[in-house]
Structure 1
Amino acid sequence: MIPPPPSSLLVDAVGVKVRIDLTELSGTDRRAVESAWAGALAVDDAGPDTVVRLVRPDSTDRMLSQLSGAVTQDAIRARRGSSWMLHAGGVAAPDGGVVALVGASGAGKTTATRRLARTWAYVSDETIGIDPDGRVHAYRKPLSVITPGHPVKLQHCPASLGLRPLPDAALRLRRIVLLDRAERHREARLVPVDPAEALIALAPHSSALAAMPHPLTTAAGLLAATRGLWRAEYAEADDLDALVGAILLRDDDHEASLSVVAPEPPHPSAGDAATAVTHAASSDASTGGPTIGARRFLRAPVVEVLPFPPDRLAVLTASGDGAGLLHLLAGAAPALWHAADAATREELIRAVTDGPVHRDAREAIDGILDQLVEAGILTVA
């Protein structure tokens, strides 16, 4: 006798227990949800942290696609402020070491995860949660796959695609890898990313970054503890087998031969602008705008500031949704930011220069101040 379809499912999404209420669905749609989410079922019967309620759909495929987004958003909201929530795929070694795969939309994250998880344990193709101590929370959701002839991504249970289950060992972060897939990469390789640039690269892929306690210190500490961010330059998903497999198999002390030493990034001169990553500061403001007269400059409220030698400063400002905006200041910008304690333009110019100040230098400093104001890092009173 075929058992009746369930009225609800309890799934584990980055450590959050989400109950999916199926009572409004037909038996066929209930079984479709049960099949798609079989790999994410919670292993205990603890009560749910949140509930997602479904309504009768006009399309099973569309319902499954929307359900994936709804569970993800509820889980991220529930973990807001407690874990670093990375929009990333993930695979794990038998000892629990996890490689997180970060990439922009269309960068091949799901394709890479699907390929690697036939050999290594499937952790997620969407989001992983990382605690400050390096513990990783899996999210074994259905994989969202673009399929010709279907208007929405189809949802596939990991097992149906031949992906491996989680290991018995506790999951811990081993490395974060930034995917850079392009035909120009003739030779697949791993390239280390400068620590400050790593935060800039990962900020757009982080959910509610500003809601974390000490977010920059936490993220930088996790990167340092796992040998930093590495960029995987490759042309085909097959090329990742050796690159990621080597990380998961090898001891860190013997891994140096895999990588190419990246050159130090150039350090901007005093005339270069502050760089805002998630919201780029424009250089269109004309000199003599907010910097005219005896107006005074003040530092805007920030979530956290983290210095990087020799002369760079990461500044995280808050936004209404908790995501925040991460800016990397270089050249004269860090000194101007530090000196902007109700300081006038002339006081700021003296703070970053020695001796007589030529017109070109004044114009360059005015340009930086304009950009810091436009980016919301400084205010003018």
Structure 2
Amino acid sequence: MQASDFTVDALGGVVRIRLDFSDNEFDGHRFSKFRDPWCDAAPDSRASDTVVAELLWRFPDAEGTTGSVAELSTYATLAAIEANRGRLLMLHAAGVADDAGKVLAFIGPSGKGKTTLARTLGTDYGYVTDETVGIGPDGSVHPYRKPLSVIRSGEDYKEQLAPSALGLRELPDAALQLGGLIVVARVEDFVGSPEVATLGLCEALAAIVPEASYLADMDQPLQTIARHVDQCGAIQQVTYRDATQILSLVPELMSRTEPEEWQAVLPTEGAGVLSTVSQSSFMPMPVIDAVEAGGQTAILDTNRMVHVLDGVGPVVWRTLGRGLDYESILREVELEFGAPPEQSLDAAVDGILGAFADAGLVLRIPVPQP
């Protein structure tokens, strides 16, 4: 490795950053502006020695340095995420760890306060990341102690600073393991104490899937999240106004809440029924994954959209996918819910199958009438 290159531990692998000096000559002071913010992400015994990505970056002149340093952070993150697609569950989340190595992942979209949370909680807990929490199949957490973007008072740009420069704690000596998944809902005009609510698995999946990178490239992605929940406890949501309100809640959020039981409900090959009301065949479309829990079903379709079914919908989806005939589906629905009060049972089931077809979950094939 040349003196002008440096490496960072990013999600358990090494990203090598090579600065290209073909346009501007080497300047040690400017070089340090690129390297120093990454000092807390230097590979150590936790990181694999495998280089998972290399990033060639043009060394700018003095005028363009500030913007280039910030942009490098973005591209290094993208390179690390790309290198780990299909291998790790990667959530857009801030992560902090207690002394035992239990990691809380605070999940939310960009611009919703994850960096502020990381800065606030990271003074008392080990700073794992403010960007992406990478989770292995065994629940191990791979840190990404990237620089944090900070807007200086009176400035119109974001400065990249190492966590230690902001007084954030080092990681504990213990191995990092997922301790909880928290959906954050920051509300600027929220009044009162923060509210913590336990989410049903399917409701939580609908909130988490948009905040996961390359989820569809994983094998059984929804089931993978559900298995993590089995280990760390039910997914919780915290609604709050200011990040300082969360600090006292961390012990509560670290405590395990019993998760719901769940089952996979993927359609069997060749499943489908002929409706006696609409005289249409309904065949389940291929989906990436589907799980049922707590009277709901979460389905990740091939367009990477999440559908949450409730009411009678989960029963119809489950029985249709098992290849039961139409009469058997009607019996299953009646057994669980009874006859509908305002319409016939078969008309109600037909309506659900039609809604599935409108959502792209089943294929409707009209049967020609004699």
TM-score (normalizing by structure 2): 0.79
Aligned to 2:184: 179
Partner AA of 1:318 in structure 2:
T
Partner AA of 1:20 in structure 2:
I
**Which whole-Å CA distance do the structure 2 matches of 1:213 and 1:355 have between them?**
39
Partner AA of 2:236 in structure 1:
W
The answer to whether 1:194 aligns with 2:195 is no
Q: Is the 8 A contact 1:110 1:125 kept in 2?
A: yes
**Which whole-Å CA distance do the structure 2 matches of 1:150 and 1:14 have between them?**
31
Aligned to 1:374: 358
Count of aligned pairs between the two proteins:
336
Partner AA of 1:303 in structure 2:
I
Deviations 1:324-367 (A, max 9, x none): 22221112322333455799999977875677996687776565
Aligned to 2:225: 219
Q: Is the 8 A contact 2:13 2:49 kept in 1?
A: no
Partner AA of 1:74 in structure 2:
A
Partner AA of 2:362 in structure 1:
L
Judging changes above 3 Å, is the alpha-carbon distance between structure 1 residues 223 and 294 closer, same or farther for their aligned structure 2 residues?
A: same
**Which whole-Å CA distance do the structure 2 matches of 1:69 and 1:328 have between them?**
33
1:373 is paired with a residue of what secondary structure? Answer: helix
Deviations 1:241-260 (A, max 9, x none): 10014545xxx4xx88xxxx
Q: Is the 8 A contact 2:95 2:105 kept in 1?
A: yes
Tell me by how many angstroms 1:295 deviates: 3.7
The answer to whether 1:231 aligns with 2:254 is no
CA RMSD of superposed structures (Å): 3.3
1:202 is paired with a residue of what secondary structure? Answer: helix
Deviations 1:110-151 (A, max 9, x none): 111101101111100000111121110000000123446555
Partner AA of 1:209 in structure 2:
L
Judging changes above 3 Å, is the alpha-carbon distance between structure 1 residues 293 and 171 closer, same or farther for their aligned structure 2 residues?
A: same
Tell me by how many angstroms 1:210 deviates: 1.8
Aligned to 1:307: 292
Tell me by how many angstroms 1:318 deviates: 2.6
**Which stretch has the larger CA shift, 127-136 or 370-379?**
370-379
Aligned to 1:54: 57
Deviations 1:194-218 (A, max 9, x none): 2221222211111111222222222
Judging changes above 3 Å, is the alpha-carbon distance between structure 1 residues 240 and 298 closer, same or farther for their aligned structure 2 residues?
A: same
Deviations 1:288-346 (A, max 9, x none): xxx9964422111112221113x322212233xxxx22221112322333455799999
Counterparts of 1:353-372 in structure 2, within 5 Å, are 368-372=352-356
Q: Is the 8 A contact 1:94 1:169 kept in 2?
A: yes
How high is the sequence identity, in percent, across the aligned residues?
A: 35
Judging changes above 3 Å, is the alpha-carbon distance between structure 1 residues 373 and 121 closer, same or farther for their aligned structure 2 residues?
A: same
Tell me by how many angstroms 1:60 deviates: 1.8
Deviations 1:173-214 (A, max 9, x none): 111222222333402343222222122221111111122222
2:287 is paired with a residue of what secondary structure? Answer: coil
Judging changes above 3 Å, is the alpha-carbon distance between structure 1 residues 190 and 360 closer, same or farther for their aligned structure 2 residues?
A: same
Judging changes above 3 Å, is the alpha-carbon distance between structure 1 residues 185 and 103 closer, same or farther for their aligned structure 2 residues?
A: farther
Match of 1:72 among 52, 74, 77: 77
Judging changes above 3 Å, is the alpha-carbon distance between structure 1 residues 358 and 197 closer, same or farther for their aligned structure 2 residues?
A: closer
**Which whole-Å CA distance do the structure 2 matches of 1:47 and 1:327 have between them?**
38
Aligned to 2:127: 122
Judging changes above 3 Å, is the alpha-carbon distance between structure 1 residues 37 and 366 closer, same or farther for their aligned structure 2 residues?
A: same
Q: Is the 8 A contact 1:210 1:317 kept in 2?
A: no
Q: Which runs of 5+ in 1 are unaligned?
A: 265-290
**Which whole-Å CA distance do the structure 2 matches of 1:84 and 1:23 have between them?**
32
Counterparts of 1:1-381 in structure 2, within 5 Å, are 6-24=3-21, 26-27=26-27, 28-43=29-44, 46-57=49-60, 59-147=64-152, 150-182=155-187, 183-247=189-253, 252=255, 294-309=279-294, 311-319=295-303, 324-338=304-318, 340=320, 352=333, 368-381=352-365
**Which whole-Å CA distance do the structure 1 matches of 2:69 and 2:243 have between them?**
26
Tell me by how many angstroms 1:85 deviates: 0.6
Tell me by how many angstroms 1:39 deviates: 1.1
**Which whole-Å CA distance do the structure 2 matches of 1:94 and 1:343 have between them?**
52
Q: Is the 8 A contact 1:297 1:344 kept in 2?
A: no
TM-score (normalizing by structure 1): 0.77
**Which whole-Å CA distance do the structure 2 matches of 1:127 and 1:348 have between them?**
43
**Which stretch has the larger CA shift, 186-195 or 72-81?**
186-195
**Which whole-Å CA distance do the structure 2 matches of 1:240 and 1:227 have between them?**
19
Judging changes above 3 Å, is the alpha-carbon distance between structure 1 residues 357 and 73 closer, same or farther for their aligned structure 2 residues?
A: same
**Which whole-Å CA distance do the structure 1 matches of 2:82 and 2:198 have between them?**
32
Q: Which runs of 5+ in 2 are unaligned?
A: 261-275, 366-370
Judging changes above 3 Å, is the alpha-carbon distance between structure 1 residues 33 and 370 closer, same or farther for their aligned structure 2 residues?
A: farther
1:303 is paired with a residue of what secondary structure? Answer: strand
Partner AA of 1:325 in structure 2:
M
Deviations 1:92-125 (A, max 9, x none): 1122111111123332111111011011111000
